[in-house]
Structures are given as C-alpha cells and as structure tokens.
C-alpha cells in the first residue's frame, strides 16, 4: 500500500514545516520528489535529507506568485503525477487593519500561486491521462478566526478552487482534494511566538494548543500521512473533498 515508485511529485513550499514532512513522506514511499521553493537554503536542506536516506529529490528555486517562473520551473520538471500546492503565508489583521500591500501579498502567494501551479500542471496531467492534485487549505476557510481576515479570504478561495478543479477535470482522470489543518507545530509557530510574545512563549504556546479540543497542536508528520493517503491509488474514489485535520477544532469546540 501507499507505493509511489515511479511517481513524480511536485511539492511547493517543501523546504520547511508541513511541506518538508510531506516531501520526506513521499520520498520514503519511493516517489521522485521535486521541491519548489523560494528559499534555496530550505529547499536544498530537504533534498539533502531525502538523498541521505537514499531517496530521489531535486530542488527548484521559484516564486509561485510569478507565473513566468512557475511555467519555466514546471517545464524543467516535465512529468508531473502529483501536485501538492502547499506554499503559503500567513497574516494577522482585521479588514480595517490589513493594508492593501499585505492583502495583495497574501492573495498573490496563497491564491494566485496555486492558480499558477494548476495552470501549468493540469495540461501535463491531461496529456498523461491522469493526475492527482492536493491543495493546502485551512480550518480558517470554514469558520471565523479572529484577526485572520486576509488569510481566511485566501483559504476560502483555495477551498473553492479545489471543488472547481475536481469538477472540471473528472473526465480527464484528474482528482483534486484539499486538507484543512488546525494549528500545527511548525518552525513558523515558534518564530511567531518568539517575535510577538518574548518571554511568554511557553504560556502562549500552551494557550494556542488548547484551542484544539484534543488538547495539543498537530505535527507536520500527521498532516503528511493524510496527504500521502489522499494522493495514493488506495484513495482513487476520493475527489472534490476537503479533509479537516484539526484535533476536533471545527466540530467539537463549544
């Protein structure tokens, strides 16, 4: 089960956090992994770790918000069996405290970035006669989270794009799903706490962790395992679905 031998997987934002965990998981199951990253050091670090464990991987430095760069990168990769649209950025702010520049930045990376990758990958998959797309969504797409106006906007768009792509390419044997994590313990969380709550990192971490009814944050590896299944042949009957992986955040909070 979950054998990805001879499969080519493209993972955007695969240099750190959830993206890195996804890259390592696919490589462990035999896939040839292509890391598409704006941070060259992170991308090379993931590739080095994969190769150290006898996996197959390559790094491609690319800003997903730039369609020309994405087109050039995907052309260089060639074959694409699975696309993981993971690259994204966060933002804190309400509608009246979010600047136009910040709004545009969130949109360009989190929404246009996915569109750019879909635009280039789907024709390749159509030519291959099949393909799988997995978009990184968020619980923020389905519930109100304080001071996440622009971020929630972007993830709502990701959810809608997932449904649209799943519907449009049914006859092309292309599946498209999304996952919606709750809070996940990544380096981003640690950096955020250190920057915004110096000296109170543990206190704030515990408070954030307890917002999940299960009582803790998720791990990148737990998200990766769900993604691995949804992209596998074992999940061939699943398309047009979003899967919350949130420790009960959406359904069990009262």
Active site residue 243: no
The Cα–Cα gap between 155 and 136 comes to 8
Alpha helices in 39-148 (DSSP H): 40-52, 67-77, 100-106, 113-128
Q: Catalytic residue among 115, 151, 205, 243, which?
A: 151
Q: What are the two backbone dihedrals, phi and then psi, of residue 42, each rounded to the nearest 5 degrees?
A: -65, -45
The Cα–Cα gap between 244 and 246 comes to 6
Q: Is 82 helix (H, G, I), strand (E, B) or coil?
A: strand
The Cα–Cα gap between 11 and 13 comes to 6
The residues carrying an active-site annotation are 151
């Amino acid at each position: 089960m979950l054998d990805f031998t001879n499969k080519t997987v493209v993972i955007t934002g695969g240099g750190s956090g959830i993206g890195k965990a996804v890259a390592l998981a696919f490589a462990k199951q035999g896939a040839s992994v292509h890391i598409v990253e704006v941070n060259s050091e992170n991308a090379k670090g993931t590739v080095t770790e994969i190769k150290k464990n006898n996996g197959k991987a390559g790094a491609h430095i690319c800003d997903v918000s730039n369609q020309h760069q994405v087109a050039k990168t995907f052309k260089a990769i060639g074959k694409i069996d699975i696309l993981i649209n993971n690259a994204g950025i966060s933002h804190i702010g309400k509608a009246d405290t979010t600047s136009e520049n910040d709004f545009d930045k969130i949109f360009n990376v989190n929404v246009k970035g996915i569109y750019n990758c879909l635009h280039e990958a789907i024709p390749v998959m159509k030519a291959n006669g099949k393909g799988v797309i997995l978009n990184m969504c968020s619980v923020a797409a389905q519930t109100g989270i304080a001071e996440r106006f622009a971020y929630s906007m972007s993830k709502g768009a990701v959810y809608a794009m997932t449904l649209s792509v799943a519907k449009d390419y049914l006859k092309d044997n292309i599946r498209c799903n999304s996952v919606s994590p709750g809070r996940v313990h990544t380096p981003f969380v640690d950096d955020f706490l250190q920057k915004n709550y110096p000296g109170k990192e543990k206190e704030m971490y515990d408070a954030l962790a307890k917002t999940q009814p299960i009582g803790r944050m998720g791990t990148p590896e737990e998200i990766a395992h769900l993604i691995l299944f949804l992209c596998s042949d074992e999940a061939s009957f699943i398309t047009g679905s979003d899967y919350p992986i949130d420790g009960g955040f959406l359904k069990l909070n009262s």
